[in-house]
Chains A and B, each alone.
Chain A
Amino acid sequence: MSGLRNVSSNPHVRAKSTTASIMGTVLIALLPAAAFGVYNFGPRAALLILVSVAAAVLTEYLFERLCKKKVTVGDLSAAVTGLLLALNLPVSAPWWIPLLGSAFAILVVKLLFGGLGQNFMNPALAGRCFLLISFPAIMTNFDCDAYAGATPLAAVKAGESVNVMDMILGRTAGTIGETSMIAIVLGACILILAGVIDLKVPGSYIVSFTVFVALFASLTGRTVNGPYLSAQLAGGGLMLGAFFMATDYVTRPITKKGQYVYGVFLGFMTAVFRIFGAGAEGVSYAILLGNLLTPLIEKYTMPKCFGKGGERS
């Protein structure tokens, strides 16, 4: 009865989803990739994931307690950041790598800019690039008990042939969470079915990447065929980046048109990095660059209010 008398200003109808429920769904969707990583690389992968998530959550908790702010650990976004970062690490990394990376991602990239919603870059990706710049040898050492030698993408770049079926299943060297295309797409389906993400960004990203990579590869005199393109699509962090990082609510454009522009830009940059860059991979830097352009994209794609614009009478 008292609820009926509650006088309030609008909005009166609210969606049920909360930050915690959305982040919880993302965590569940990341589980297949994480589980496959542990299966593929052994228990050490589980340890790195655990350290990374714990460090991310603990950093957020301690900072907010120390600064006497509201503790926002319960919205699960720190856990998502920690998990995503761990999935981007090679299994041979020492235990303090995820600790440092998560602390940097949460403290410097997210909390110092004002917390969730204020960060201008994806924290997990920025944390990964921080590690990549600081410890290039550790971060690109993909040798482990299960696999020795180059990642499939590096092999493709060197002109060697790779087993595409292995790449789709994930039985290859790489970071903990990026190898299995099947596990990632399974997680992506969960997100799409739950309505957490839609295909605008990942779809335009993957399609434009395919087009640009085919174009650039043929420009540089490679033979572009089915296996080459499937290796480019299944290899490296493209799938993980496209479905779980480029779709980050905070750092992608909010406008519909802007999301397509953003996706195409990411596809273009990733293809440029992979074909013309010194390294084999370029998804992280492409998405971070896209994050930086997001405010600009939003500015030029903001739909006009009804009655605004057009001819002035």
Chain B
Amino acid sequence: MNRPFKFSLLIPVLLASATNAHAARIGELTDSSIVEQALRFFTFQDPTVRFALAGTILLGITCGLLGSFIVVRKMALVGDALSHAVLPGVAFGFLWNMSKDPVAIFIGATVAGLLGAAAVHLIRHTTRLKEDTALGLVLATFFAVGVCMLTMIQRLPTGNKSGIDKFLFGQAAAIGAGDLKLMAVITVLAILAVMLFYKEFLVTSFDSDFARSCGFATHVIHYGLMLLVAFAVVIALQAVGVVLVSSMLITPAAAAYLLTDRMHWMLFLSAIFGMLAGAFGAFFSFLGPGLPTGPFIVLGATTVFSIAFFLGPKHGVITRWFKQRSRSNRIQRENTLKSIYHVLENRSFVGESVSLRELAERRRETLEDARIQSKALARHGLATLHEDGNQIFLTPGGWQLACSIVRNHRLWELYLTNAADFAADHVHDDAEKIEHVLGDEVVRAIERRLKYANRDPHGKPIPSLEDVQRGAAPRARREDSVGYGSSI
């Protein structure tokens, strides 16, 4: 468990060293000033820090909440298109009164976003082009127009142009009091909308046909959600920038999706992850002058996603790998126990122990492999090793497991030949796999079905339940004894 966790921790460390290297190269920051900056950040003395942090946290919450619906509705590309489409609106908002007035930029960007959505709708419904193509077209065109306009604005002789270029990659430090108010309003709006219209969003996202049959205005809900997403994109522009804002919608929600199977938990986790990513980005961009915030926020979100991807309790890649490995180890132990049983059975259970050589011969493997296997049994308390590990004695627990595995194997073989009409020589390989997964319930059902038979198709005795429970070598049975033991 430890190694992957360290690996995920490495990412922020690498990032930190990257900023360090960058700072050293431009000769503006030394190690001590990074510490100073970090101190300034964590003491919140600087109003810029407070604004930046509050802003990125607010947008993290908003984007996390709305992004969850984007992800489950499979509209990730829509978020991307919307974010690129707002850029010309930002430029128009700036041109309105030649300053970075948050309200003018907000209105301009929202209008541009809606125009982009309308263009996508128009292309889809009047041509045979599908949504992804329409999105790609609109995204690129609007973005191109926006970049042209921003370049023109940069060259204008008049007006306070400072910070307009920051809309491409984001600069949390540029967040002012006016921006923050707007962000707070939109965040409250998003939270309220998700809380009040949760059931509408849920049912239309899961099954829009059914929602319509219940009388829900699915189009109104869809465009309402799109409008909220447009708002979220616009408030996120300042901090994350046009190019990367869609990742704020998608990445925290995607991480949350990997960790939970319930929509309300996904919304909650996604909002938390968005917040964390926002704070992470604000912090790192603060460490050096002119460092863009957007990429750091995105990398913060990606770090969270990586943790979910590798270590998620249900769907995590490494978690699954560990589970798989422990399962295959268990199967290997069970197979070793079975081999020991077979060796003893061939000797009619004379003697208590099996030598390493006997085990190796039975399993057709080297002495060294047999030694590794017997040590694994000893580690799990299934066997004790004597004479330098050359003699293997099963413990009561070992006997129980050995008997039950052999019993599963033989019962399954018998079931396949008797009840499912398999030929006796066709059943062994199947039983080799099934013996490890049969639950007690199925075993009992098979026994009943087989009328408590006591010999497998090859004529070998099936260990009784009593043998399994005794935790010792099975006793010789009378020919007429049945599966639950000789006493019945």
Say whether A associates with B: no
